[in-house]
Amino acid sequence: MPEFTTSIFNKIKFHYRLAIGIILVVTTASSLFVFYYVEQQDDFAYYINMAGKQRMLSQKISLHASYYLHANNEQIRQQNENLLRVSLDELKSNHTHLKQEVSLSLFNGVHFSQITQLYQNDNNGINSLLHDFYLDVDRLLETNAHSGYQLLFQLEQMESLLQSLNQVVNLYEKQAAESISQLKLIKILIILLVIFILLAELKYIFQPLNKLVITSIKAIEKHKAEVERAKQKIELANDLKTHLLSNISHEVRTPLNGVIGMLKIIEENPYQLQTNIVKAQHSARDLLKILDSLMKFSELERDLVVLKKQPFNLFKLVDEVSEPYLASCQLRDINFEISVTENTPIWLQSDAKAIAQVLDNILSNAVKFTERGRVSLDISFLSKNKFQTLIIEVHDTGVGIAQSVLDSIINEKYYPEKDVNRKFSGCGVGLSIVNKLVNLLDGQIRMSSQLGKGTDTSIIIPVMPCLADSRLSEYQTNLIKQLKIILVTQNPLQAYYYQSLLNQLNCQVELVEDTSLEQFTAARADIVLFDFDLIPYVPSLDDKIRWIALGQTSDSTRFNKLDYIAKFSDSKALLAAIFRSQASLDSDQFLTWVNRKILVAEDNHINQEVIKNLLESFKLNVDLVFDGQQAIDAVQAKKYDLIFMDLQMPVLDGLSATKVIKRIDERKNTPIVALTAHAFRADEEICYQAGMDDYLTKPIEVEELKLVLSRFLG
């Protein structure tokens, strides 16, 4: 029995025992009171009878005394004498009992005073009258004469005794009547008390007890329902495990067979080695993807997934996830379309891995279950009041999903049936992973589908937009405004992404979807950003244009005037490529830097030596200081062309020193570059907020240093 049920039953037993205990106490007390008063009535009856008998005995004694005096013979005289003595003894005995404390204690208040006065009055009290009465009888028996016997034969005195004895009887009867009245009152009070106690028990014991019973019944029913749900969940998990094992055995076998098969072909026919290795790698990646899905599903089932919300590049994420599906659709002659709304931020803050997993599973199903037609991916951003949401919509013209399966997906009870066509089979955990991850992200999933017509899926996820990741100095701003940049791409994600970045930097950018690079001349463009796939056409192009390929590979460096950046690189990498194209760092350029004044604020001697040697290799004039305050003093004493500022220094840190320098009118335009071991975006933002113009991360790369020098020294 569950602990909470045991606790409830203990409370119920306590309430019942309390109610019975109260009734038992009241009943016992009432019975004792009634018993006491009933016993008192027996005492009253006994003493009333005795008091009444006293009057009869006094009359009987007077009668026998008369017979004794007037007896005709000795026998009659003797007989009356005996009766006279017996009656006198009984009268004395009764009187003794009636005047004892036991009998008098039956009286209370006025009656006690009255009975005491009747017995103890000096003139005609019962004690006095009976005393004289005893003496008269004794003298009568001794002298056989009646002369002078006042009490026995004088009617007036005898009447006084009889009246006193009658008053005693009356007082006993009155006291008994009052006692009976008290008993009746007590009975009424007991009845009222019992009624009150029953009502109190009803309110304070039985009503709470009733609620407790109802609560316990509900708790038992709830526990029973939970047990039933747990049972169903276990049964469902059992079924799911069975189906998963069945599906996994097939899904794992397929890529595993591909790997083993390709390795065997390589072993037997080594002439097509590269092609077969690629095929084996492709099968291995498919196998790894299946295992990753199973691991993620297992983690989600055991609630082991912890979200890490950090800034991420939305466009890079979407491109990396969608690229393999785009290639798959091209091979199968399926249109794969991507669209992005204009207000969509480049950088967002959320769990990028979770969002990528959601998008990957949705796209996987859309592409897998679509044989012809199209698959479209729409990315949008909605900002309303204080709420910002990322909306991912995937539409396909595939086989569709039955409504019962959709409902099961929403309720997290879905697993694929055994008879699902193997053409469209999978592990069967993708949609379950999506549902669980979306819930973890506090998002929503909406799905609508028609069999044979396709499926529409909308994922709504709360996010936070992030600020741009780089800023321009005045020199950079003036330089970049003069550049004519052309963006050549047919990828809508790249088009929107780089247009947004360049527009934020106030660049003149033109989007061209025609991939014929020969059309561009130096008169039309200074820089051309183009898809990595177009690199083979570069050698025949105009050398006066700086060409930047969107897609990183070391092979691209063999082409003259060609730079490259990874797809969806951040603005800092893009700017580096642009400025590299404008700054050919040869010996002629170094001559323009000779004797330019550089200040380095760095508290570490080794780091001072490293950066000093690097700067002096460019014939620069370098001054060193050890803390922020020394940097301020040096700037006030001399004008520098560029300042390198460490962030963490004694006396005064680099951020505080920068703020002070930027407030000096004559020095506020002096560029300051941060030197730090921290590489987080948040640290970079703090530097810019303090007034710094650029950011270098330790250890310092020579190429990065050259880029910074070219930006600020020309």
pLDDT, tens only, 38-72: 776 677 777 777 877 777 887 788 777 777 777 77
pLDDT per position as a tens digit, 267-317 = 777 766 777 777 677 677 667 766 666 665 666 565 666 777 888 888 888
CA-CA distance, 344 to 380, in Å (whole number)? Answer: 6
**Residue 626 confidence (pLDDT) above 80:** yes
**Residue 427 confidence (pLDDT) above 50:** no
The closest of 583, 602, 601, 603 to 593, measured between CA atoms, is 583
Question: Could you give the 3-state DSSP secondary structure of residue 197?
Answer: helix
What is the rounded average pLDDT of the residues 436-443? 85
Question: Is 584 or 264 the better-scoring residue by pLDDT?
Answer: 264
pLDDT for position 632: 94
CA-CA distance, 513 to 321, in Å (whole number)? Answer: 23
pLDDT per position as a tens digit, 82-139 = 888 888 888 888 878 877 777 777 777 777 777 777 777 766 777 777 777 777 777 7
| Cβ atoms 161, 167 nearer than 8 A | no
Per-residue pLDDT band at 145 (split at 50, 70, 90) = low
What is the rounded average pLDDT of the residues 635-653? 92
What is the rounded average pLDDT of the residues 147-168? 66
pLDDT per position as a tens digit, 389-416 = 999 999 999 888 777 776 666 555 444 4
The closest of 595, 568, 698, 584 to 645, measured between CA atoms, is 698
Which of these ranges, 117-121, 346-350, 552-556, has the smallest mean pLDDT? 552-556
H-only helix segments in 511-591: 571-582, 587-591
Q: How far is CA 461 from CA 319, 354, 383, 621, 702, in A?
A: 18, 11, 12, 54, 42
Segment of 26-40, 367-381, 421-435 carrying the highest mean pLDDT: 367-381
Mention every residue, 6+ apart, whose C-beta is less than 8 A from residue 284.
Answer: 255, 259
DSSP classification of residue 202? I
Percentage of the chain with pLDDT > 90? 11
Q: Which helix (H) or strand (E) holds 418?
A: none
**Residue 557 confidence (pLDDT) above 70:** no
**CATH, range 587-713:** 3.40.50.2300
What is the rounded average pLDDT of the residues 455-467? 87
**Residue 556 confidence (pLDDT) above 50:** no
Question: Is 325 or 642 the better-scoring residue by pLDDT?
Answer: 642
pLDDT for position 407: 67
What is the rounded average pLDDT of the residues 528-537? 74
The closest of 326, 374, 628 to 492, measured between CA atoms, is 326
By CB atoms closer than 10 A (0-12, 13-18, 19+), residue 456 is middle
pLDDT for position 395: 93
**Residue 428 confidence (pLDDT) above 70:** no
Segment of 171-185, 305-319, 325-339, 682-696 carrying the highest mean pLDDT: 325-339
Q: Which helix (H) or strand (E) holds 384?
A: strand 374-384
pLDDT for position 658: 93
Percentage of the chain with pLDDT > 70? 77
Question: Is 299 or 266 the better-scoring residue by pLDDT?
Answer: 266
**Residue 645 confidence (pLDDT) above 90:** yes
Q: How far is CA 412 from CA 248, 442, 553, in A?
A: 20, 16, 44
pLDDT for position 522: 57
Mention every residue, 6+ apart, whose C-beta is less than 8 A from residue 522.
Answer: 542, 544, 545
CA-CA distance, 481 to 484, in Å (whole number)? Answer: 8
| Cβ atoms 629, 651 nearer than 8 A | yes
CA-CA distance, 624 to 445, in Å (whole number)? Answer: 59
Per-residue pLDDT band at 558 (split at 50, 70, 90) = very low
The strand pairing partners of 57, in sequence order, are none
C-alpha 393 chain-centroid distance: 31
pLDDT per position as a tens digit, 474-498 = 556 666 777 788 888 878 888 888 8
* CATH architecture of the domain with range 474-582: 3-Layer(aba) Sandwich (3.40)
**In the numeric block, which tokens belong to residue 133?**
């009465």
Q: What is the pTM of this model?
A: 0.50
Question: Could you give the 3-state DSSP secondary structure of residue 562?
Answer: strand
The closest of 630, 622, 616, 564 to 597, measured between CA atoms, is 622
For 306-465, give the CATH class.
alpha beta
Residue 209 CB neighbour total at 10 angstroms: 19
Segment of 73-77, 181-185, 358-362 carrying the highest mean pLDDT: 358-362
| Cβ atoms 327, 371 nearer than 8 A | no
pLDDT for position 165: 79
**Residue 500 confidence (pLDDT) above 60:** yes
Average pLDDT score over the chain: 77
pLDDT for position 476: 62
H-only helix segments in 269-313: 273-301
CA-CA distance, 533 to 330, in Å (whole number)? Answer: 15
Which of these ranges, 137-151, 417-431, 669-683, has the smallest mean pLDDT? 417-431
Question: Could you give the 3-state DSSP secondary structure of residue 255?
Answer: helix
Question: Is 373 or 252 the better-scoring residue by pLDDT?
Answer: 373
CA-CA distance, 263 to 255, in Å (whole number)? Answer: 12
| Cβ atoms 525, 507 nearer than 8 A | no
pLDDT for position 630: 94
pLDDT for position 246: 64
Kindly report whether the peptide bond that precedes residue 699 is cis, defined as omega within 30 degrees of 0: yes
pLDDT for position 590: 60
Torsion sign over Cα 200, 205, 208, 214: negative
Tracing tokens 């009870």 back to the chain, one arrives at: 413
DSSP classification of residue 125? -
Position 419: which residue type? D
Residue 643 CB neighbour total at 10 angstroms: 28
Alpha carbons within 13 angstroms on the beta-carbon side of residue 609 total: 2
Given the DSSP bridges, would you call strands 621-625 and 597-601 parallel, antiparallel or unpaired? Answer: parallel
What is the rounded average pLDDT of the residues 625-630? 94
